[in-house]
Structure 1
């Protein structure tokens, strides 16, 4: 394999323009952000891309490699070149993916402050044995350039591009990758010392002028007002175009003067992180996957990394409080989930199949892991002790959220496995249109408010084994809203019904608001009419509200 990556026939500036139109980014040009005196990959011949990665195990740092890897923090401008074993390729990709997953989990734990993220991340990396990432994250920048430093930087470089290749297959995984790489960049930049920051800014052409003593004195009052924790005289302050520091401007944490912001060195993390994310978005499709076209052995590895990542990423769902479940079960649950919910409330227990189906459903509609544990614990402890619950039943909830077993979180649970599941005596899972007797199904449909004619239609569909059509018909009659497609899963039913319920609620609130407005206007008109008809000559001043 001569080269891992090859340039697509598009320049950086052309791609930047495309991305800026598609993503509404600023007009900032980051085409100059790459090491000075380095060759761009578009001018690099294949003969120059023949370095063997095995040399990085040598005790002495290679002089040519030192020119490429002069700093522990990178912008990942050029793709890596050379040869690498499939085993190492897969290992590096999996390790970096684990790093991003740890950051992702930490970022979703609201009790962890952002400034504590670094220590939590380091602890997680040590537990996973990812020591060289620990070194990278703690690195002050470029204080040393040993063979071990060069190897560490090279691994960082390669692993980034492996995931870039693997996760660029759809927008969801791509966005996930970019956001978490940005977080990782932030954490690493925050570890740099002053020389490390200066070297990084110089290396990647952040050529912003610094304020002179005269300029500091001119703006001293404003600088102190904004940055009361710094010594203006001793701090290096950069003059940066305001579009390069949008977050600081948005949060009003910076002094803005004639289109420029005055950024202390300690705040340059905002400027570089913004540049990193925008540059990464612009560069993400500049490369094409020549290795996949010419080397079929790479495809399974990249596909596995993509599939694993795509499986664990869930859409953002508004959290649902536990005390609203009974109301939701009544208004928006499909019949299959409503039956299990009512059974759990009544008998305080569900067998394996029902716990799995209902547990996955609760997760998909927005119930967090801790809330689901509390929910099942509240019911189960009415018939057993805490030890029995934790030893025999907690595992299923952990499995659903990817905390044990294969550690793959459920993204969906469609109607097909529910219809095909076997249901025994005393079990409440499965599809009610398939498993219920005609009398029991009729009784449950009546509770949903469905008229006799509609019940007969649903029963006919169920008899013909058209169970999804029966569920879709139930939705139509229950909410007086026909669907253009069949119900695919219980969560699909729930979200569609919630859209209708919330729309009706908004309409009701709007009508109530209009009624109150009309009532207010009518009262004002009545009051004015009273004044017109009254004999005001005899009214005393004290009767008027001034």
Structure 2
């Protein structure tokens, strides 16, 4: 069990003072205080990280704001639901408790360096913006009324005094202007509006119209979180002494590197891609495998061998792809065709059976995720991260026949260390004939976070294409 601080969360206080989490919007002022298991601690953080990683991926993929909102709302529904107060048949307290717990756990993971703090603040602020724009208007006003944003309401006299100046920055009819409310804040609180020349400045004050009020709130959220992360960072050395948490937090802090995979790290693919045969792997590799697994397959065919980690990574991928243990033994035996049967049985067969949970402790080992591959030592690793620039260019052209424009696009993502975004772009480019457009990702706008996810979606597209063609045959 792990205790997370949350002042005043006892059941008696809840009864006396109403809901523990009265609003959907949250500045996360107060950390939680209750016992949670390590599993719940990690699960709440992982689900939130899936959403934040997709937010960062959306920025890297240069999505428009409406597209980003659509993708993130779908991700939130899947991993981080947070309904408004009027929702029926929903445990609002549990949703909001999980939301708060996940946020504070990720603070611990991302407070450790300036770069991690910057990325975390940017992603969290974007999530807050999306929630603010989609929140129930009545509930949103109650939330705003519950906080002191230190803005000064502009009176009618002052508004009339500066009318011409205000109208310069507020292009509207006089009737609309008369109804518009204005707030004064120090100009440093709304740098985005100042930069875009959306506010009138006088004596160090920015006159913000009501329709731009959200900019004050977003800036306040960002500044508030930045300060809190600095405070958290000062206390981190104490937490690092807890060996139970250090591994969890280290793993979470890698979450922006490759996103966070979901069911692909533990579940086999669905029935429509089960039962592949050993002799099918060559064709599947050429048509459906991501670069990492395609590279492993090519090395295996060229050298008739793979090192231990290469066999483990590729073998588990094929297992989740649908290669049975019997077919796996056939596949690896044919691949290692330069050794005798006796050597194969002694050196390799046990390990193959072990990876399928038939030997040793009989565990059902999952396939490696993009995050695990990216953070490995580099052999075999992720080509987008571990290949030299020249080798990666050659491999992309050779394997996928990318045009110079597409190649430039992919290499730009690699240059900016958005390796899983580069892989996602390759998926989109190579599946354009199946109707996949830029920004679609592997479905619903999601980025690639697991090699099996890439292969599964590719095979599903081909099957759908074949079924459509068959249906058109008279």
Cross-structure match for 2:56: 104
8 Å contact from structure 1 (residues 2, 81) kept in 2: no
Distance in 1, Cα, partners of 2:208 & 2:392:
40
The structure 2 residue matched to 1:243, chosen from 188, 192, 196, is 188
Q: 1:105 to 1:229 in 2, by over 3 A?
A: farther
8 Å contact from structure 1 (residues 216, 233) kept in 2: no
Tell me how far 1:366 sits from its aligned partner: 10
The structure 2 residue matched to 1:120, chosen from 51, 71, 74, is 71
1:355-406 per-residue CA deviation (whole Å, 9 max, x = no partner) reads 979943697749999x9756643389xxxxxxxx979xxxxxx99x955427
**Structure 2: runs of 5+ lacking an equivalent:** 261-294, 303-378, 404-428, 432-440, 455-474
| Secondary structure at 1:233 match in 2 | helix
Distance in 1, Cα, partners of 2:180 & 2:227:
33
Count residues in correspondence: 300
| Secondary structure at 2:184 match in 1 | strand
1:251-296 per-residue CA deviation (whole Å, 9 max, x = no partner) reads 2111112221121222122112112112211111324359846854
Q: 1:390 to 1:132 in 2, by over 3 A?
A: closer
The structure 2 residue matched to 1:177, chosen from 99, 120, 126, is 120
Tell me how far 1:229 sits from its aligned partner: 4.8
| Secondary structure at 2:177 match in 1 | coil
Distance in 1, Cα, partners of 2:392 & 2:26:
36
After the TM superposition, which residues 2-151 of structure 1 pair with which residues of structure 2 at under 5 Å, given as runs?
Answer: 3-5=3-5, 51=10, 62-63=14-15, 66=18, 68-110=20-62, 112-126=63-77, 129-130=78-79, 132-133=81-82, 135=83, 139=84, 148-151=91-94
8 Å contact from structure 2 (residues 80, 99) kept in 1: no
Q: 1:264 to 1:277 in 2, by over 3 A?
A: same
1:20-39 per-residue CA deviation (whole Å, 9 max, x = no partner) reads xxxxxxxxxxxxxxxxxxxx
Distance in 2, Cα, partners of 1:71 & 1:358:
42
8 Å contact from structure 1 (residues 103, 180) kept in 2: yes
RMSD: 4.4
| Secondary structure at 1:186 match in 2 | helix
1:425-456 per-residue CA deviation (whole Å, 9 max, x = no partner) reads xxxxxxxxxxxxxxxxxxxxxxxxxxxxxxxx
> Which piece of structure 1 moves more, 283-292 or 172-181?
283-292
Distance in 1, Cα, partners of 2:242 & 2:296:
50
Cross-structure match for 2:421: none
Question: When the two structures are superposed, what TM-score results if normalisation uses the length of structure 1?
Answer: 0.46
After the TM superposition, which residues 464-475 of structure 1 pair with which residues of structure 2 at under 5 Å, given as runs?
Answer: none
Q: 1:195 to 1:209 in 2, by over 3 A?
A: farther
1:220 aligns with 2:220: no
The structure 2 residue matched to 1:377, chosen from 369, 380, 400, is 400
**Structure 1: runs of 5+ lacking an equivalent:** 6-40, 56-60, 314-348, 381-388, 392-397, 409-546
Q: 1:121 to 1:81 in 2, by over 3 A?
A: same
Cross-structure match for 2:200: 255
8 Å contact from structure 2 (residues 3, 36) kept in 1: no
Distance in 2, Cα, partners of 1:262 & 1:108:
33
The structure 1 residue matched to 2:253, chosen from 281, 306, 319, is 306
8 Å contact from structure 1 (residues 186, 273) kept in 2: yes
Tell me how far 1:82 sits from its aligned partner: 1.0
Distance in 2, Cα, partners of 1:280 & 1:290:
20
Distance in 2, Cα, partners of 1:275 & 1:172:
20
Distance in 2, Cα, partners of 1:216 & 1:274:
24
Question: When the two structures are superposed, what TM-score results if normalisation uses the length of structure 2?
Answer: 0.53
1:283 aligns with 2:228: yes
The structure 2 residue matched to 1:405, chosen from 431, 436, 451, is 451
1:203-238 per-residue CA deviation (whole Å, 9 max, x = no partner) reads 221132222233333333333332225822223221
Q: 1:274 to 1:368 in 2, by over 3 A?
A: farther
Structure number, greater radius of gyration? 1
After the TM superposition, which residues 333-352 of structure 1 pair with which residues of structure 2 at under 5 Å, given as runs?
Answer: 352=298
Distance in 2, Cα, partners of 1:214 & 1:245:
24
Distance in 1, Cα, partners of 2:177 & 2:391:
49
| Secondary structure at 2:35 match in 1 | coil
8 Å contact from structure 1 (residues 4, 82) kept in 2: yes
